Amino acid sequence: MESLGNVGISGFAAFVPPYRVSLESWCDWTGNSWDKTRAVIGRSFRVTGPQHNVYTMAANAALKLILEHDVDPRRVGYLAVGTESGTDNATSAAVIVRGLVDQALQARGLPPLARDIEAPEIKQACLGGVYGLKGALRYLALDGAQRQAIVIAADVAEYALGSSGEPTQGAGAVAMLLEANAKLLAIDLRSASNASAYRALDFRKPFSRYCGQTLGEDQRPRDFPLFNGKYSTACYVDATMASLGGYLRKQGGSPAAHVRELGAVFMHRPYHRMPMAAWMMGYLFALGAEGGAGHDELARYCAASGIDLADVLAEMRADPQLLGHALGGELVDEPYPLTARLTKALKEAPERGALIEGKLKLGAEVAKEFGNLYCASLPAWLAAGLEDAAASGVELEGRDILLIGYGSGDASEVLPARVVAGWRAAAAKTRIQAALDGAVDIDRDTYQALHQGRADTLPATPEDKGFRVERVGKVDTPAFQDLGIEYYSCA
């Protein structure tokens, strides 16, 4: 992989709110199967209390990054926030976050962030953080070559009680430090690939959901999305296949051999099983694109599944027409049904362990504790994976890895990265698992109260020294207006 020098990621810092919902307890409350839930979804997720929103979480992560990685705030020239959970339709989340961080830095006797800083907020469902990352890389490779960049992916993922999405909730933020001389990962945008398409009825958040909504004590509208679960999964698979296919075509040579040689793969992770299923499809698509030996291996899976190879190859080349079917009133559950059937044969193949679980195992156990963080899901898993590799002695130096992002609607990005020399020292500073410390397990009544914006049953939490929502404005007069504007404090 040729890169634009060593432009890339040098460090991570994460923040999650303290209130944890054990999925085992949630299964007891709701009558769901714990065995199935832990195999498919994970082990827990976090919810926000009235003291936290997407801005406080992002600011907490950014401040940790600056302090723990000895960042000179005056060198930061680009600060981006990728989120779909903002509560202001005018001011960039990055501008709000920089205001909070500046106050905390100055309270510590440190200089504020540079005045000449780019501060965009980027929204595209769960892909905003990846788009922010690409913007930072371009900034550092061009006009910001002597500066540093910080990208924060932060979200509050919440679903209506009783919905299929409820166990896949989460809340948190991951901040990333980017430099021209990366200490962890060099990322090559020239080899990156992307795909996007309009899907109409996939995961959406229209403003009309707020009409008639009664606000809770925290004065925050409940951000429950509209979604069609199986159709949304189909969109995820189709977009990921499109972006991965574009990436493999850029590589030339044997697509399957390239996939086998990767050191690790990290993907958007709404729940544990989804990236596993998508990556199996991706490997089969790589075999289909290769011809020769690739088709021979694919033919073995076809024979075991009772499917004709020519039919599978035709399906891989076809457009599943997800939008057309949706607009016609039919939601497609599986865009590539024949290929999906082949994954069952792949599961039984001896190479499955190294090709599938082996590529996705780093950091996977820690990621099960985060829940779905929307924009922050991929960065959280990536950080956990690098920390896991360093702690367990996995040798990644010089190895190529893939970062595969996705945002509903849909859009997907594949970013190839190479682990740089000396990466272990930077990985040791990541402390992503430590971000989960201090959790307070909450019971059913407290969980439901927080879900409704009430704080009347909140248990005691460890002392919180970070950013907090102090109050929310309620005045709307000709002389003064602050209705809905949050005011913050930082202990």
> Would you say 93 and 55 are in contact if contact means Cβ atoms under 8 Å apart?
yes
Q: Is the pLDDT of residue 1 over 70?
A: no
What is the mean pLDDT of the segment spanning 95-122? Answer: 97
| pTM score | 0.96
- Both tokens of 288, joined, read 């289909």
Q: Using CB atoms within 10 Å of the CB of residue 23, give its burial: 0 to 12 exposed, 13 to 18 middle, 19+ buried.
A: buried
Q: What is the DSSP string of 312-375?
A: HHHHHHS---HHHHHHTT---S-SSHHHHHHHHHHHHSTTHIIIIIHHH-TTHHHHTTT---GG
For 260-306, how does the pLDDT look when each residue is reduced to its tens digit (9 = 90+)?
A: 999 999 999 999 999 999 999 999 999 999 989 999 999 999 999 99
264 closest CA partner among 429, 130, 375, 396? 396
AA identity, residue 67: L
Q: Is the pLDDT of residue 457 over 80?
A: no
What is the mean pLDDT of the segment spanning 208-222? Answer: 81
- Poorest-pLDDT segment among 205-214, 276-285, 475-484: 205-214
> Would you say 114 and 76 are in contact if contact means Cβ atoms under 8 Å apart?
yes
Cα separation of 77 and 451, whole Å?
A: 37
What phi-psi label fits residue 292: left (phi over 0), alpha (psi between -120 and 50 degrees) or beta? left
Cα separation of 199 and 125, whole Å?
A: 13
AA identity, residue 101: V
C-alpha 221, offset from chain centre: 23
Cα separation of 3 and 186, whole Å?
A: 7
Confidence category of residue 491, pLDDT binned at 50, 70, 90? confident
Confidence category of residue 463, pLDDT binned at 50, 70, 90? low
pLDDT score recorded for residue 417: 98
- Poorest-pLDDT segment among 65-69, 127-131, 453-457: 453-457
157 closest CA partner among 271, 59, 34? 271
Q: Is the pLDDT of residue 2 over 50?
A: no
On average, the pLDDT of the chain sits at 94
Collapsing DSSP states into helix, strand and coil, what is residue 49? coil
Cα separation of 361 and 184, whole Å?
A: 19
pLDDT score recorded for residue 4: 55
Looking at the domain covering 8-490, what would its CATH class be?
A: alpha beta
